[in-house]
Amino acid sequence: MTTYEIAKEAYANYGVNTESVLEELANVPIAVHCWQGDDVGGFERPDSSLGGGGIQATGNYPGKAKSIGQLRRDLEKVLSLLPGKHRLNLHASYGEFGSDFVDRDQIEEKHFQGWVDWARKNQVHLDFNGTFFSHPLADDGFTLASKDEQVRRFWIEHEKRCRRIAAWIGRQQGSPCILDTWIPDGAKNLTVDKFGYRAILKESLDEVFAIEYPKSEMVDALETKLFGIGSEAFVVGSHEFYMNYAIRNNKMLCIDMGHFHPEEDISDKLSALLLFDDEILLHISRPMRWDSDHVVLFNDKIKMVAEELVRSGKLATTHIGMDFFDASINRIGAWVTGVRSMRKALLFAMLQPLNLLLRYEETDNGWAKMALLEMQNTLPFGYIWDEFCRRNDVALDAELIKLVGDYEKEVLGERQ
């Protein structure tokens, strides 16, 4: 018997059909984020670098992508090492602007045609994000909630153009483009007029969303935040603000794992939100301390999120996007490890004997439920994962260190 056949039989003893699981898992899309490859720098101008607005990337590991061509080559390498279906999450600052500087209130569809063509060639769909950081008009910590009318008008125009571009992308690719809106607006210290700032943000959003696009083309998501670097005391777009705004205005909520207290259980929020929301967007990261977006690992918090999506039956209506960046290690390896870890978590959750667990819970057999959950940790999960990789024609985990190392020598080393 092969290792997969051994594992298949072991799971069948608990009523789990591994063949059905592997087929379903292959069709769950995970959005790979473009900004891991260049430390969230973007390509707006030759000297583009990460600026203010609650974003930081630490480290200076060799091999950073310094052009769109290099970034695309890196992404193609990453995609070749990822099993399953994927999308690409693109920030507005990653357009192809040529030698002329194009400010964010002037971006157009033509600046992203190259990405649409590249995505079609590589059989992935695109999602989009407005870029509300690393800009002089974001230096004081406020964008859409700014009390400076000139600043606010600039960012409103940027967001309007982002929505228009997202709808255009959706039409081009024949799949709705999710536009996620995250702004860094907030204050480092005590704020008196919290109500006033939130009223301004509501007014800005109302204007931005006045134009409606078909959901077949684009879907709006609003990303919540509890705190951030430089906004430790007050965040305008808090969880409560966006949750209420989204429900009242038929928008999708985005929950980012790194935007809450590190000890907060994000998975527990999902059953409450998905009971009322048709769809939800998740940004998966690994928070360790204050607003950190570490490379995702196959750990308990990631597994708990995946388990809740599967147990609630809402996996099909949940959009999963990755959101981490680490400039201190090989960026290709970071990408591959993070995305594969999320896929592993989904597989682990889908292999749970859910019907048997529910039966134990509903018959008040708490110990049997606990014992079965513990037993899952020692079932041959790794053999199922290896089989999934084989069926998707990608490398096994044991091969990754060599493959990523070879790419570093052959490609990344040339960028020194």
Q: DSSP letter string over 174-223?
A: TSPEEEEE----EESS--S-HHHHHHHHHHHHHHHTTS---TTTEEEEEE
Altogether, the residues listed in the chain come to a count of: 416
- What are the distances in angstroms from CA 168 to CA 178, 213, 217, 412? 12, 10, 7, 34
Tell me the catalytic residues.
Answer: 182, 223, 225, 256, 259, 283, 291, 293, 323
92 exposure class (CB count in 10 Å sphere: 0-12, 13-18, 19+): buried
Residue 51 DSSP one-character state: -
Dihedral sign, Cα of residue 169, residue 224, residue 34, residue 42: positive
Cα–Cα distance, 413 to 88 (Å, whole number)? 25
CB atoms within 10 A of CB 239: 16
Cα–Cα distance, 139 to 143 (Å, whole number)? 9
- Collapsing DSSP to helix, strand or coil, 221 comes out as strand
Let me know: does 141 contact 231? Beta carbons within 8 Å.
yes
Nearest Cα to Cα of residue 309 among 347, 337, 335, 264: 347
Helix 381-391 with 3-12: angle, nearest 10 deg: 120
